[in-house]
């Protein structure tokens, strides 16, 4: 049965928002955000830095020097463009892939590496850095964000809560509960769904009959927008608008960024060649957010090969230093884990604590 006209009318409202096309040309002059030349260069620097970081992290993982790692190449514009629209007082509730956003929000590379290794210090966020520990349970951060945003509203803080998930996360029950709660209580929340088309391995078309994820905002009574997630200026613009909407008391926003993850879902054995074609990979490589933005900046004489090489070398040096510091972190003990689980240990854990203390002292 064909879709009803009502559904077609809804879907027609969610055409993809874009500012730069694949050639780095402005196609939506009116939507250009007010960013200085230095801010434009900073956006490019962050994307180049993150691409190098991603490459090195994959290499470190293969060497056994990192634990869990979820590659980010291809999603830099979606991640960094949205974070750039935030202020220090805003809260980020990341998924496990969203490490670049929280590093640029204030945590160190060293801590990011410790988190990847499962070290307890990796989850101990610095005072004054408003980020939660990356969520491993897919979609769980959505309901948490609704709660954090409610707290910000009740305290009249001039801040929003933003969270990230993928298209697979948008198929979880927590996603629907979270955006519905946020809409019902009109809280300052931003929900970013990075639609990289395959979740872990299931095509988005098999996850939902909806043409877009953005249109799911209608049922929750909140604002929704679909944006070209390979266009960092477009992502920045819609996130900035969403933040202003939340602070003005006009409720949450659901942002669907259309993007593509070039690597595997994680380094834990995923093989994307089993569910993606080389033709599709080639199609999306032509949309590479770094290539697109580089062309734009070069056209404005704001970026050069020398600029890029400086960022690449800085990234390599920083990563080398951070992994060395992470290597020097105290080895984790079983008693450390038991100690941080509860403010006051229950009887059974007290017994285990004594047992392990005795073993560790030998």
Q: What residues are annotated to the active site?
A: 261, 265, 275
CA–CA gap between residue 92 and residue 272 (Å, rounded): 29
3-state secondary structure of 263: coil
155-158 CB contacts, 8 Å cutoff, 24+ apart: 157/89, 158/89, 158/247
CA–chain centroid gap for 166, Å, is: 9
* Alpha helix positions (H), the chain: 5-11, 37-62, 76-84, 99-104, 109-116, 140-154, 173-184, 204-207, 217-220, 232-247, 278-285, 289-299, 305-327, 334-341, 347-361
Q: How far apart are the first and last CA of the chain?
A: 72
Residue 162 has phi, psi (to 5 degrees) of: -125, 145
Sign of CA dihedral 40, 261, 83, 217: positive
270 backbone φψ class: left, alpha, beta (φ>0; ψ -120 to 50)? beta
Tokens of 113: 């590496």
* Residues paired with 20 in a beta bridge: 26
CB atoms within 10 A of CB 238: 28
């Amino acid at each position: 049965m064909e879709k009803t006209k009502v559904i077609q009318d809804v879907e027609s409202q969610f055409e993809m928002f874009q500012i730069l096309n694949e050639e780095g040309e402005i196609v939506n002059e009116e939507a250009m955000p007010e960013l200085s030349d230095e801010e434009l260069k900073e956006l490019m620097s962050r994307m180049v830095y993150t691409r190098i970081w991603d490459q090195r992290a994959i290499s470190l993982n293969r060497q056994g020097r990192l634990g869990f790692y979820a590659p980010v190449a291809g999603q830099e514009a979606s991640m960094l463009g949205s974070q750039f629209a935030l202020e220090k007082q805003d809260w980020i509730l990341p998924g496990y892939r969203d490490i670049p956003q929280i590093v640029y929000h204030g945590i160190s590379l060293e801590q990011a590496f410790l988190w990847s290794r499962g070290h307890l210090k990796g989850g101990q966020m610095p005072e004054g850095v408003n980020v939660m520990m990356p969520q491993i349970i897919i979609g769980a951060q959505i309901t948490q964000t609704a709660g954090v945003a409610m707290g910000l509203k009740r305290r009249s803080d001039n801040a929003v809560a933003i969270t990230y998930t993928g298209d697979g996360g948008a198929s979880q029950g927590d996603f629907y509960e979270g955006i519905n709660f946020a809409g019902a209580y009109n809280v300052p929340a931003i929900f970013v769904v990075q639609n990289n088309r395959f979740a872990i391995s299931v095509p988005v078309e098999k996850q939902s009959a909806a043409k877009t994820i953005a249109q799911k905002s209608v049922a929750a009574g909140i604002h929704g927008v679909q944006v070209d997630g390979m266009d960092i200026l477009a992502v920045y613009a819609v996130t900035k608008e969403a933040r202003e909407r939340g602070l003005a008391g006009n409720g949450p926003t659901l942002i669907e960024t259309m993007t593509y993850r070039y690597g595997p879902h994680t380094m834990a054995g995923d093989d994307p060649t089993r569910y993606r074609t080389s033709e599709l990979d080639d199609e999306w490589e032509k949309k590479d957010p770094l290539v697109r933005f580089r062309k734009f900046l070069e056209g404005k004489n704001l970026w050069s090969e020398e600029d890029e090489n400086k960022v690449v070398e800085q990234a390599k040096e920083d990563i080398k230093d951070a992994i060395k510091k992470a290597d020097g972190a105290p080895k984790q003990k079983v008693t450390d884990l038991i100690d941080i689980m509860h403010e006051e240990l229950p009887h059974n854990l007290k017994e285990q604590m004594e047992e392990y203390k005795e073993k560790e002292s030998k």
